[in-house]
Structure 1
């Protein structure tokens, strides 16, 4: 079998980067599950635009179709028909099947589902609209069959308030966004940006069949669009659920000079990196929650690196490994002149940089190194969007980046390409290898998928993007032996 193998698995899909896990591999069945949202600007956008999709990929047979003609639903072993909006057809690999969890929810990549593989063999998918309503939605699959799903259920966050006046006072009714699924101390948590646009969470004692309000995690007075952007990491993949790490900004980097802060949840409390207790978990609607600044500063707005001043940091990826090491990917602007100006109709290119931060097991301080140049903003009206990157979930010393500047020599590239990197000296130097080259379209937002310990599974989407709502992109999966 050819190694690596790369194939298109969905003709219309994209995702944001603040939901997890966005993709998982079931090691027993060797199937990849990958969530995405179809855009009105993509393939069959008039029919599929706004569909919240789930693509199921047989990794052992990916890339075997020599014709590239797509799935033949009559072939032996073909999956049952999708609930709606199946993304099959010319160019889609026959090892992939796409089912639609919610047709026409919203043409917006922020609506991407978070996935969880339950102990009973069922799958859980949780998703929401992008701040346009207050509902967290979820569906549960049949046992062992992620192509068949039960009915959609919802939590309406507006129901937490005693009155409309209380909702206004506490910042309710502003919409919810992003779902992140992790088990902590035996209880499944779903972290959501919700009340006052702060990180809050739901809890489930039945592995996602039902949900109740768990508490408010952090809060801050609103400045600009929303409050902090969080990434979460746990040891769930390795069978441990006694700690959950997070990194977060104070606000959106276009509205504020953001830094990156770290804390972790354990023993019913929120802690700083050094173990200092910040406060108890399970805060009610009316109890005051801590601020991001009560946590440990990982990367400071205004810090200097190689003679350049770094500002407007943003969270990109976070992983915790079996020995307790925590690794983060970050971005920041270098020598920025834009600041937080509200008129962003005409922008000069902004120099963005990638950073890697490591909290070794048992350490109290983060070790941070500049990683690579990310290039100018991805979109004119989103001055902090980059091609992004992803950490290898099986190897803390490896990662992938999407960039328009070759990290090997700084050469400008015609469009975003993906590079693999590995370090042998704790991040002081890196060996880079291209994953894509001479591409006709840009390659964005790679995800290194956890679950297949003997395989390296990478997915990304490639095409054209004009906004988070309008993109013409197809989803690609690459599989290689480790």
Structure 2
């Protein structure tokens, strides 16, 4: 990135500090004196959901959603619900054992937190205890038309079972009906709950997972999750595509890779589905019947990014505008062209948006280094604002505009920090810190959709993330935290 963009970052940081009553003469931690950011600076008041003896920590993978929803029908005010998975103990399947066929015997729990966004009242409940300690097991949350919540989750590829629970009462996360199960034909990982409309205009609830063929599959419910049936294999081909999903009008949009980026120079693709068929970005039919055995491969979808050894893609987030146009964020690894088992040292975030005919892409920020040694394509991740396609939050341990390491003045170490990004009319992104000078890492942000009764943009935005130490997907000591931000005028 050039000197002009570097200077833009300096200006944006100074402006962001001024809004918070601070002043800083140079950019971020690269300044000779960034001490005017206090240790563990957070731009707004921080709230913490996890913590305590029975809820010691929390984490999530990013291939299950929604992990957080906002119930605007709750009579005491909008209610934030957040799913996470707690680690009870130090796992004996740490990153150093990656690649060995060892079942982790440490146990963890699926936890649900809630926060009344009007009163500040909060609480938590354990929805499932004693699954394998693994952040892939986190539950997806959906609110039914009767106001009740349904959650879905699975134990990371160790059994052919998806679990479900439904809340006892509408708008009440405190008590839950007994666990029900769906038996798959193969082991299962992930849950993603989204709605679609079939060809007869009948609403469907879909649950996307990885099961048959170690590939993306879909389950279908015509009664909002009371009963389920197998819908078919969404994608196939060599390897295992990784897929992110988003709610559209009558269809579910999805962002897909060819395979795991550890083994393939991934491209990034987009498609939509109504649970029965698959369509290209422009609406063209690609697969008429998901339920048959003639599944399509990712490369048959609409191409967003062409992968190559110096730009290995992986999907991060996708959302859809009120006009039905998808926008997405993905990461590319730039430096590890030999596929050595070494941490990726240079990742970038790329923003993509569809105008109804074509996809447009913009490299927007440096994403820093790999999150841990044996997953060279893991980044701190990013979250798109589902209410505003020109807003995102990124996690990076590098200056977003220059790639220079972010060294905390609080402890002299490099940490992942969060930055709020805003896109202007010239397609330029400006960044201001949400966290800075941290003594812990700040990773994997989420921005839940906040609908309003008046169908207008909400006045506020919730940003959630994991804060602490993340060693691997089975070993972590991170807390689920968040802030409530006041939106700028639309």
Common fold, TM-score beyond 0.5?
yes
Partner of 1:462: 467
Unaligned stretches of 5+ residues in structure 1: 63-94, 159-172, 303-308
Q: 1:36 aligns with which of 63, 69, 84?
A: 84
CA deviation after TM superposition for structure 1 residue 267, in Å:
9.2
Matches within 5 A, 1:35-434: 35-41=83-89, 49-62=107-120, 95-143=121-169, 144-158=171-185, 173=186, 175-185=187-197, 186-221=203-238, 223=239, 227-235=240-248, 240=249, 242-266=250-274, 268-284=276-292, 287-302=293-308, 310-339=310-339, 341=340, 344=341, 347=342, 349-360=344-355, 362-363=356-357, 365-413=358-406, 414-425=414-425, 427=427, 429-434=428-433
Q: Is the 8 A contact 1:389 1:400 kept in 2?
A: yes
Distance in 2, Cα, partners of 1:201 & 1:349 = 32
| Inter-CA distance 267–51: structure 2 relative to 1 (3 Å threshold) | closer
8 Å contact 1:311–1:336 — kept in the other structure?
Answer: no
The answer on whether the counterparts of 1:388 and 1:402 sit within 8 Å (CA) in structure 2 is yes
RMSD in angstroms over aligned alpha carbons? Answer: 2.0
Contact 1:220 1:291 in 2 (8 A): yes
Q: Note the C-alpha offset of 1:348.
A: 5.5
Deviations 1:360-397 (A, max 9, x none): 2x22x210010111111110011111100000111000
1:22 counterpart = 2:67: yes
Aligned residue pair count: 405
Distance of 1:42 and 1:114 partners within structure 2: 25
- Quote the Cα distance in structure 1 between the aligned partners of 2:433 and 2:338: 32
Q: Which string of whole-angstrom CA distances, capped at 9 and with x for unpartnered residues, describes residues 21-71 of structure 1? A: 11001112211100000013479xxxx951000001112233xxxxxxxxx
- Please identify runs of 4+ aligned residues in structure 1 that moved more than 4 A: none
1:13 corresponding residue in structure 2 = 58
In structure 1, what is the Cα distance between the partners aligned to 2:337 and 2:386? 36
Alignment partners' CA distance in 2, 1:355 and 1:153? 40
Deviation readout 1:290-334 (Å, 9 max, x if unpaired): 1111111110112xxxxxx63321000000010122111100111
For the residue of structure 2 that corresponds to 1:60, the secondary structure is: coil
CA distance in 2, matches of 1:289, 1:481: 45
CA contact 2:343–2:376 (8 Å) conserved in 1: no
TM-score, scaled relative to structure 2: 0.79
1:350 Cα offset (Å): 2.3
The separation in 2 between residues aligned to 1:349 and 1:228, in whole angstroms, is 20
2:285 and 2:275 mapped to 1: Cα distance?
10
Unpaired runs of 5+ in structure 2? 1-19, 21-42, 52-56, 92-105, 198-202, 407-413, 452-457
TM-score of the superposition, structure 1-length normalised?
0.81
CA distance in 2, matches of 1:22, 1:349: 27
Q: Tell me how far apart the structure 2 counterparts of residues 246 and 118 of structure 1 sit (CA, whole Å).
A: 22
Deviation at 1:282, TM superposition (A): 3.7
Equivalents in 2 of 1:481, 1:253: separation in Å? 37
